[in-house]
Amino acid sequence: MALIEARRVSKHYRLGGQEIKAVDELDLSIDRAEFLAVMGPSGSGKTTLLNLLGCLASPDKGSLKIDGEETAALSKAMRTKIRREKVGFIFQEFNLIPILNAVENVELPLKYQGATKDERRRRANIALERVGLSERAKHKPSQMSGGEQQRVAIARALAAEPAIVLADEPTGELDTENTSKLLELLKDLNRDFGQTFVIVTHDPAVSGFTNRVVRLRDGKVESDSA
């Protein structure tokens, strides 16, 4: 059974009387431990799709099963629960909490899961180690480079060991050198720990890291290399 199973999923926005089909009757299934790149022109619905897969937004129509559970009609609280337990997010702008240091940022999802202080710290340190930033644990985001901040954000997404990691243009704010380092890191993590990665990217180099690239156009899957 696929980990994520989207059937004829739609998300439409109404903007000034005009209907925008951000995601339109889209079919997609993603297996466990896959490393999937989502590409497509601006406005093709990549972010919207990721928000749906991560239960940040709910579809207007269609069915979306995560881990066998139908999520299309779930309440806000239930969707929060799924995000907390099954999903890790990596954002383009890193989105670390500026007043928290690296390890405190990484602990955050564990805190929301109700882990004890010791447990939180232990697992956050493991996650930081995986992204190679153990020595920066006490540093604030403002004291780190963009590449380092994004690695902290990856550690945060991984800390609770979610089944799915969703990344929306995670390299968008990084230079080419950092971009390939980061993509390599994500691929290594995918290989070593078997989590499912869905990565939205404009970087053509990503095809060197994965054999599955999904291309979107106008809210639909234009091509799927799988």
Ligand X SMILES: Nc1ncnc2c1ncn2[C@@H]1O[C@H](COP(=O)(O)OP(=O)(O)OP(=O)(O)O)[C@@H](O)[C@H]1O
CB 223 within 8 A of CB 28: no
Pick 85 or 91: Cβ nearer ligand X: 91
Pick 165 or 182: Cβ nearer other proteins: 165
Owner of token pair 């989105």: 95
Q: Residue length, the chain? A: 226
Residue from 15, 16, 19, 76 in contact with ligand X (CB under 6 A):
15
Instruction: Tell which phi-psi region holds residue 41, choosing left (phi > 0), alpha (psi between -120 and 50) or beta.
Output: beta
Q: What type of residue sits at position 41?
A: P
Positions 100 through 119 that interact with other proteins (CB under 8 A): 100, 108-109, 112-113
Report d(CA 193, CA 31) in Å as an integer. Answer: 15
Of 7-15, 30-38, 39-47, 136-144, the segment contacting Mg ion by CB under 5 A is: 39-47
Regarding 190 and contact with other proteins (CB under 8 A), the answer is no
Regarding 47 and contact with Mg ion (CB under 5 A), the answer is yes
Report d(CA 162, CA 149) in Å as an integer. Answer: 20
132 alpha-carbon distance from chain centroid: 20
How many CB atoms are closer than 10 A to CB 225? 12
Pick 48 or 150: Cβ nearer ligand X: 48
Positions 69 through 108 that interact with Mg ion (CB under 5 A): none
Regarding 210 and contact with ligand X (CB under 6 A), the answer is no
Q: Could you tell me the end-to-end alpha-carbon distance of the chain, in angstroms, rounded to an integer?
A: 16
Positions 32 through 71 that interact with ligand X (CB under 6 A): 40, 42-48
**3 state SS of 24:** strand
Residue 180 CB, shortest distance to other proteins, in Å, is 26
Interacting residue ranges for ligand X, rule: CB under 6 A: 13, 15, 20, 22, 40, 42-48
Residues engaged in binding other proteins (CB under 8 A): 51, 54, 56-57, 77, 80-81, 83-85, 88-89, 91, 95, 97, 99-100, 108-109, 112-113, 156-157, 160
